[in-house]
Amino acid sequence: PADGGPNRSHPLALAPVSSPPVSVDGFVREFLRELNFGQGVALSASTVNDQYLALARTVRHYLMARWLETMRRQKETQAKGVAYLSAEYLLGRQLGNALLATDLTDIVADGLAQCGIDIADLRAQEVEPGLGNGGLGRLAACFVDSLATMSVPCIGYGIRYEFGIFRQTFVDGRQVEQPDSWLALGAPWEFPHPDSAQEVSFGGHTETYTDSDGAERTRWVPAWTVQAVPYNYMVPGYQNGRVNTLRLWRSVATERFDLRIFNSGDYEEAVRSQTFAENISKVLYPEDSTPQGKELRLQQQYFFVAASIADFLEDVLPEDFDLTKLPERIIFQLNDTHPVIAVPELMRVLVDEKGLAWDTAWEITKGCFAYTCHTLLPEALEVWSVELLGRLLPRHLEIIYRINEEFLEEVRERFGDDELRIRRMSIIAEHPERSVRMAYLATVAGSKVNGVAELHSQLLRDKVLPDFNEFYPGKFTNVTNGITPRRFVRLANPGLSELITESIGVGWLTDLERLRELEPFAADEEFRARFREVKAANKRRLHAVLTERDGVSVSDGHMLDVMVKRLHEYKRQTLKVLHIITQYNRVVSGEVAAADLTPRTFIFGAKAAPGYKMAKDIIHLINAVGSTVNNDERLEGRLKVIFPPNYNVTLAEKVIPAADLSEQISLAGKEASGTGNMKFALNGALTIGTDDGANVEIRQLVGDENFFLFGMLEPEVEALQAAGYVPSSYYESNPELRRAIDAIASGVFSGGDRHMFDSVVGNLLQEDRFLALADYAAYIEAQDKVDAAYADQEEWTRAAILNVARSGFFSSDRSMRDYIDRIWHTPPAF
């Protein structure tokens, strides 16, 4: 064309090139072509990694036409969509999911077999992108999966950390962190677009000036700038021909910045500045729900959010877009407070750069954001010191101050000069240092604020943000979390999936409430036998995985009792340990014959934040109890403790389908939702759990008789704490509890060392913030009931089947429908 641009009307450019032919021969040709021409090796000379990379690239070719088509249609229709803003996406391995989405699993397995390759070996080669810590990051991954499957327009925005969540190892039972070099062997799923980089600036100062119309305006004069380079990932819907986009940002030094320093002659400084810029997306902060207030973390947050907003406004929207219509085109969903700096950023862009009036910009902004809160722990609510925020983002601090002033003015208009209320509701806290309360900013700016389970949303309204709930009637809502059944049932549990499909037909995977049709099968003896056989096969598979991975075995015929989640005191892994020790003591004291114990294997999986001392001490204790229990012959092999290091999505997919019992034992009122709890129920484990988070809804759905409830309710917790909780009184009045704690303190699990676990014991007896001792008796009683129930395998299986049949509600497809109906108003767009 005359203007030198691409010829968009070339006949072959009108539509994306079609997908490669879907046949075994066609696949083999494509695969070998990738291996030879992409990877540059002959099949005979290729390594497993070569083969894996070639396979991944072949499979992504099959998705490419659909991806391009999805983007083309979205550009054309400009249908309203979601921009999910999340600092974390805990994706898990991509290959299996891509094969499932394209329905190519069998063709690919056959084709590889013809090449003499076992697909399982290639699957095992993939290093999962661990770009998240735990529940919050995995939730984001489930949500984008569901939106693609439901054909809802969505861009996921986040950070391409060079190092994801650390790899956990144990040395003498203690956690040691290793860097997660997930990119080292190649990154076949990502598409970098350095040409679409955005600039993100920091520091400096603001100044006022008079524009050409004579208006007083402000501009930000930043001190330094980095480039944000987008890396796109495909988010394929399940066999629906749609592929959405996940856009993760990587920081690199700007050429301009480098050159300036370079030209000044300071080569070393120029290289240093490059390192400095690249630090921003270097590593995921490993604290799950305990923000550290580090400057680099705020840099990360602003970095990805500023790049995303610029990307959306400059590259996604058409050039002539009327910005006052923005709320009709996009909703920015804030995944916790981590991206909340997006609020003043959008204001800055609209007012300072686009020249809109403040009030107009504020109306737009309020219509474009919604906020999800994921916690109730006060220490998890993010605040940034005014000193730091003002130094890094001076214009944003000014904007936050003005938002706060106008907001507090509204509060005054409504409630008069109620200074206590004003101080309580101010976005700016004065003590212990002047700081910005990010959750308040998000609540003021958001069109909606949601909690992640019924109980959590209620407590959010009543306990965490009651003033705001009063001030903004109708702003608060609930969306109970969910999980994607594609990954956590279909991929993780093919045996169960096949049994389900044989029984109720296809279609349940995208309409999970249809699992209800399994209910009558709970009464069918033959079905129960097959269900048990699936569980047994999953245990054998787990045994094979753990033998290969860690050299440990899962004993045949044991109940598999699983507690997998981040290590946090409120989740109460120590309560689980006290139960194991109690069982141990019952046998070594002679009260219970080993032969009368229900054989149980306890599996733990948990990473501790590297700076969280108590959590690391608890990991050490679990490992110590494990090695004592596992090596004590008096137990006759009837109790076993396994703690495979580095629990991640990949391991979860093997552990959860094998579980009989799911441990969800947080102190009532502390776990916002939990999502592991849902994965277990959907894979036919029974839950022993407190009345907390989504456990409440699981129990209501599966029925009390199919759930082991124990422990204080949230109001009882409140009351006990108000009355003054004295943990040692429980120790003194419960002999079995005393014996368990004494065993730790007397060195039973530390080769006679009486001080090794002082911190854990001292904390339990003197502080016990999460009331483990208060719930101990009830927990042991419930566990004894579990043992009794397990003895009747027919009844147990019946209950397990009903757990599956009645948990369809916990599909993240349902969560997405709720977000769409209550918050986003973004219908599917085909």
- Do residues 20 and 62 make contact, with C-beta atoms less than 8 angstroms apart? yes
- By CB under 6 A, residue 46 contacts ligand Z15: no
Q: Which tokens belong to 652? A: 């979860």
Q: What residues between 193 and 222 interact with ligand Z15 by CB under 6 A?
A: none
Q: What is the number of alpha carbons within 13 Å of residue 313 lying toward its C-beta? A: 23
φ/ψ (deg, to 5) at 198: -110, 155
Give me the catalytic one of 437, 571, 620, 638: 571
State the amino acid at position 467 in one-letter form: D
Give min distance, CB of 338 to ligand Z15, in A: 7
Q: Return d(Cα 462, Cα 440) in angstroms, integer.
A: 15
Question: Quick check: 657 binds ligand Z15 (CB under 6 A)?
Answer: no
Cis amide linkage into residue 432, ω under 30° from 0: yes
CB burial of residue 289 (10 Å; 0-12, 13-18, 19+): buried
Per rule CB under 6 A, is residue 674 in the interface with ligand Z15?
yes
**Stretch binding ligand Z15 (CB under 6 A), from 71-79, 129-137, 313-321, 503-511:** 129-137
- Is the separation of the CB atoms in 60 and 187 below 8 Å? no
- Specify the stretch interacting with ligand Z15 by CB under 6 A; choose among 489-497, 666-674, 727-735, 778-786: 666-674
Q: Is 565 a catalytic residue?
A: yes
Minimum Å gap between C-beta 299 and ligand Z15 is 18
Closest residue (Cβ) to ligand Z15?
A: 135
| Active-site residue identified among 160, 247, 297, 374 | 374
- Structure token pair of residue 760: 């854990």
C-alpha 356, offset from chain centre: 37
For residue 136, the minimal CB distance to ligand Z15 (Å) is 3
Stretch touching ligand Z15 by CB under 6 A, among 230-238, 422-430, 576-584, 670-678: 670-678
Report the residue from 673, 687, 807, 826 that binds ligand Z15 according to the rule CB under 6 A: 673
Determine the angle formed by the axes of helices 525-550 and 793-805, rounding to 10 degrees.
90
Residue 311 or 692: which CB sits closer to ligand Z15? 692
* Cβ contact 697:480 at 8 Å: yes
Q: Which residues contact 600 (CB under 8 A, 6 or more apart)?
A: 558, 559, 560, 561, 583, 638, 639, 640
Structure tokens at 497: 């999936």
The closest of 162, 185, 286, 161 to 646, measured between CA atoms, is: 286
Based on the shown chain and the rule CB under 6 A, indicate whether residue 692 belongs to the binding site for ligand Z15: no
Q: Distance (Å, rounded) from C-alpha 601 to C-alpha 586?
A: 17
> Toward ligand Z15, which CB reaches closer, 291 or 808?
291
Torsion-angle region of 629 (φ positive above 0: left; ψ -120 to 50: alpha; else: beta): alpha
Whose Cβ is closer to ligand Z15: residue 605's or residue 626's?
A: 605
226 in contact with ligand Z15 (CB under 6 A): no
Residues 6+ apart with CB under 8 A from 212: none
Cβ proximity to ligand Z15: between 62 and 680 the closer is 680
Q: How far is the CB of 21 from ligand Z15 (least distance, A)?
A: 42
Assess 404 for contact with ligand Z15 (CB under 6 A). Answer: no
571 is catalytic: yes
**Rounded to the nearest whole angstrom, what is the least distance from the CB of residue 610 to ligand Z15 in the complex?**
16
Among candidate residues 679, 699, 798, 806, the one labeled active-site is 679
* Between 81 and 134, CB nearer to ligand Z15: 134
Contacting residue, 59, 672, 698, 802, with ligand Z15 by CB under 6 A: 672
Count of residues that interact with ligand Z15, criterion CB under 6 A: 19
| Residue of 139, 518, 702, 786 interacting with ligand Z15 (CB under 6 A) | 139
CA distance 811 to 340: 27
Region of 374-382, 648-656, 763-771, 783-791 interacting with ligand Z15 (CB under 6 A): 374-382
Q: Are 147 and 244 in contact (CB under 8 A)?
A: yes
Minimum separation from the CB atom of position 716 to ligand Z15 (A)? 20
Q: Determine, following the binding rule CB under 6 A, whether residue 135 of this chain makes contact with ligand Z15.
A: yes
CB-nearer residue toward ligand Z15: 731 or 824: 824
Is 679 assigned a catalytic role? yes
134 DSSP assignment: S
Phi and psi based region of residue 239 (left: phi greater than 0; alpha: psi -120 to 50; beta: remaining): left
Considering 421, 461, 566, 620, which one is annotated as catalytic? Answer: 566
In the complex, minimum distance from the CB of residue 457 to ligand Z15, in angstroms, rounded to a whole number: 11
Among 81, 390, 446, 693, binds ligand Z15 (CB under 6 A): 693
* Nearest distance in Å: CB 346, ligand Z15: 23
Rounded-to-integer distance, Cα 667 and Cα 521, Å: 35
Stretch that binds ligand Z15, among 128-136, 253-261, 325-333, 619-627 (CB under 6 A): 128-136
Among 341, 380, 560, 682, binds ligand Z15 (CB under 6 A): 380
Q: Which residues contact 336 (CB under 8 A, 6 or more apart)?
A: 86, 87, 136, 372, 373, 374, 375, 382
Taking CB under 6 A as the criterion, the residue among 311, 561, 569, 671 binding ligand Z15 is 671
**If binding is defined by CB under 6 A, does position 336 make contact with ligand Z15?**
yes
* Shortest reach from residue 656's CB to ligand Z15, in Å: 15
3-class secondary-structure state, position 663:
strand
For the bound state, the minimum distance from the C-beta of residue 56 to ligand Z15, rounded and expressed in Å, comes to 28
- For residue 373, give the nearest of 214, 136, 192, 180 by alpha carbon: 136
Residue closer to ligand Z15, measured from CB, 30 or 287: 287
374 binding ligand Z15? (CB under 6 A): yes
Closer to ligand Z15 by CB, 606 or 672: give it.
672
Q: Identify the sign of the CA torsion 435, 440, 446, 452.
A: positive
Which residue of 39, 97, 168, 289 would you call a contact of ligand Z15, by CB under 6 A?
289
At 191, give phi and psi (nearest 5°): -125, 100
Helices (H) and strands (E) in the chain, counts: 33, 25
Give residue 755's identity as a one-letter amino acid code. H
Least Å distance, CB 676 to ligand Z15, is: 8
Q: Which of residues 480-519 bind ligand Z15 (CB under 6 A)?
A: 481
Please identify which residue in 301, 333, 375, 664 interacts with ligand Z15, judged by CB under 6 A: 375
Among the residue ranges 132-140, 342-350, 580-588, 805-813, the one whose residues contact ligand Z15 (CB under 6 A):
132-140
CB of 289 to ligand Z15, least distance (A): 4
Cβ–Cβ < 8 Å for 131, 138: no
DSSP of 36-86:
IIIS---GGG--HHHHHHHHHHHHHHHHHHHHHHHHHHHHHH---EEEEE-
**Computed over its alpha carbons, how large is the radius of gyration of the chain?**
28
| 435-437: strand order across its sheet | 383-385, 435-437, 428-429
Catalytic residues: 374, 565-566, 571, 675, 679
- Interface residues with ligand Z15 (CB under 6 A)? 133-136, 139, 288-289, 336, 374-375, 380, 452, 481, 671-675, 693
